[in-house]
Amino acid sequence: MNAPSHSIQRRSFWNARSFGAIAFVVVIGAVLSAAFGPGVIGLDPAPADDGSMVLEAPRLHVRVVQAQSIEGPELFHRYRGDVIARRDSSLAMRRGGRLQDVAVHEGDLVKRGDVLARIDVADLHAAAASADAEIAAAEAALEEATAGPRYQTIRAAEARVQQFEAQWTAAKNRFERQRSLRSRGAGTQQEYDDAKFATDALAANQMSAKAELDELKEGTRQEQIAAARARLQLAKAARQRVEVDLSDSQIVAPFDGVIASRLFDEGSIIGPNQPVLRILESPPVHATFGVPADVSDFLKLNDRLRVSVGEAGPDESQPARVIRMQPQINPVTRTRVIEVELEADDTVAAAESIGWIGKTSTLWVPWAKTRTQQDDWIAHNDGVDRVPIWVPTSALVRGVRGLWSVYVAEPSLDSDLGADSANTTLDGNDTNVVAISRRDVKVIRTAGQMSLVSGSVAGTEAIVVEGTQRVGPGVRAVAVWESEASSLSSQETAAR
């Protein structure tokens, strides 16, 4: 009697469990059907009274956006470089000696022409005094030569001529008497000879005095004046050489700037051309960068870029202008050196920008400004000219063989939700019944939550950006626009 009763209880228990499982499956199916539509659980559309199938409105919603209306992030090519001064000079004196004065220290701002340091020049002051005396003597000699002989000098020369004439006349008379006596046999031969020699000597002196008088009357010769002028110029050149030595005995600021280093103090003995100070030119400062050849081809002089100092990002960068580009490519690094001038804004003080010198810097070249060979190859290596577009990275769907795809929402032509919905595109409607299709794309680059892709996606097509995990190719859904569709022409789309 006990065995049949146990069997009945066991069958009742299993029947209860079976009914519970069936009820659970039905409830889950109802929930899924309510959420995603009857197609999710494989339920066919209910037949109509006339025997035809009635397509119910899909309950699955996806968010879509027009491809060409997606704003991509602002991307940059970044290149590291160094901040340098526009001019960086080591200052020295051509003469050696004992440092007498060093007027500046590190960090002092100086103006062009300021005297920064000098050595002892006592010996040069003595040389300058001697040169001044020589100049004075040469000037006096030149004035005397230019003025010619004085009147009194000419009168004295005339008197000497008259004196020699009188002496010659007397000597000639004595000679005539001696010759007369000698002809009569009186007088000696010696007396005759002495009288003749005295007459000839006085005649020569008379001629010399007359020549000197004529020279004085004619004035100073031009050659003598030129010689006196040359001696004056020589004296002045010696004085100028002293001035050059005095100038070479001090350091003068060659431009406005700041003292970077002071190498010696007063009293130090320095040699010729030995650096004493180092000066950096005042802002604007410069920066140099090595840029790849394919990027530098898109840059030209006076292009406006952004440069950040240190580890700052593009948001904290300063405007810069390309002022110099190296003509040749470095054969080792395959880069071209460019130099930019930082145009510090009003918020950056001059002292702060000077403090940038020597720091590393980053050049931010907008990605939209350049199109590298690698980007071209990725976008067009299949021979088809396609305009890359930005899409949210979440909109990418993994395709076959490691490729990527995006879902495109196309109008569903088999929908009878309205007579107009089947004959219109997605443009201009807030919500639409769409059919999902897959488009293969190539990922060119990613930037955070956005990716740049190239593929067979037209700019006017709607891309599914939210809900990709709930749909697949051929699935019908309701498209909800992220933003209004664009009405750009094909030419404007290609330009964008």
Residues 168, 223 within the same domain: yes
pLDDT at 73 exceeding the cut of 90: no
User: In terms of Cα–Cα distance, which of 104, 218, 202, 100 is closest to 153?
Assistant: 218
Residues 258, 152 within the same domain: no
199 found inside a domain: yes
- The pTM of the whole model exceeds 0.75: no
| pLDDT given at position 347 | 55
Encoded tokens for 104? 């500046």
Question: Phi and psi dihedrals of 45, rounded to 5?
Answer: -60, 145
Better pLDDT: 58 or 203 = 203
CATH of the domain at 113: 2.40.50.100
The Cα 246–Cα 338 span in angstroms is 41
User: Which range among 2-16, 230-244, 342-356 shows the weakest confidence by mean pLDDT?
Assistant: 2-16
Q: How confident is the model at residue 424 (pLDDT cuts 50, 70, 90)?
A: very low
365 found inside a domain: no
286 found inside a domain: no
Encoded tokens for 124? 């040069």
CATH of the domain at 148: 1.20.120
> What percent of the chain clears pLDDT 90, i.e. is strictly above it?
30
pLDDT tens string 430-473 = 447 888 899 888 888 887 788 888 888 888 888 899 888 888 88
**Pairing relation of β-strands 269-270 and 97-102?**
antiparallel
Residues 236, 260 within the same domain: no
Residues 113, 144 within the same domain: no
Residues 148, 213 within the same domain: yes
406 Cβ contact list (under 8 Å, min separation 6):
391, 395, 396, 397, 438, 439, 441, 453, 455, 457, 463, 464
Question: Phi and psi dihedrals of 6, rounded to 5?
Answer: -65, -40
Over residues 300-311, the mean pLDDT reads 90
| pLDDT given at position 301 | 92
Better pLDDT: 20 or 62 = 62
DSSP 1-56: -HHHHHHHHHHHHHHHHHHHHHHHHHHHHHHHHHHH-GGGGTPPPPB-TTS-B-PP
For the chain, the domain total comes to: 4
- Domain boundary (281, 301, 335) is at 281
**Domain of residue 277, residue span:** 88-121+249-281
400 found inside a domain: yes
The Cα 38–Cα 53 span in angstroms is 14
